[in-house]
Amino acid sequence: MPALPALLPEVWLHWDPKTVRERGAAALLGHRMDFLLLLPHGQRIVLEVDGAHHYASPDGTRPDPSRYAALARADRELKLAGYEVFRFGAAELKDLRSARYLLQEFFTDLFRRFSVTP
């Protein structure tokens, strides 16, 4: 039976057994991922869908450089911990037809890059 990927929604990073084993139970307690994709050979992929709350003020009316800086810092920490991070803008996924095409193309390319075959 081939090794297939597993896609887990809404994962707190400290629940990933690999992170706990390598960095301890308190590893990256503040990180929540929209999706964690577990690939064969121990590869970890973080998929994020970013709406305005990732880069705008709480009321959504203006850019918030502090929020963006926190997002950039979190990405760096994830990457240094061995995760690949891929972000999608929420606007890219609003239209069902174009979102389906975009995601099919993305996963095809991702699986090719990481040598994942069914």
pLDDT of residue 108: 95
Give the bridge partners for 48, in sequence order: 87
Q: Which of 85, 86, 11, 91 is nearest to 51 (CA)?
A: 91
* pLDDT(62) > 90: no
| pLDDT digit string, tens, across residues 9-55 | 887 665 555 655 665 555 555 567 889 999 988 899 999 998 766 67
In this structure, are residues 77 and 13 in contact, taking their beta carbons and an 8 Å threshold?
A: no
| pLDDT digit string, tens, across residues 71-118 | 888 889 889 888 999 999 989 999 999 999 999 999 999 999 999 986
pTM exceeds cut of 0.75: yes
* pLDDT(1) > 50: no
Q: Where are the domains of the chain?
A: 6-113
What lies within 8 Å, CB to CB, of 99 at 6+ separation is 92, 93
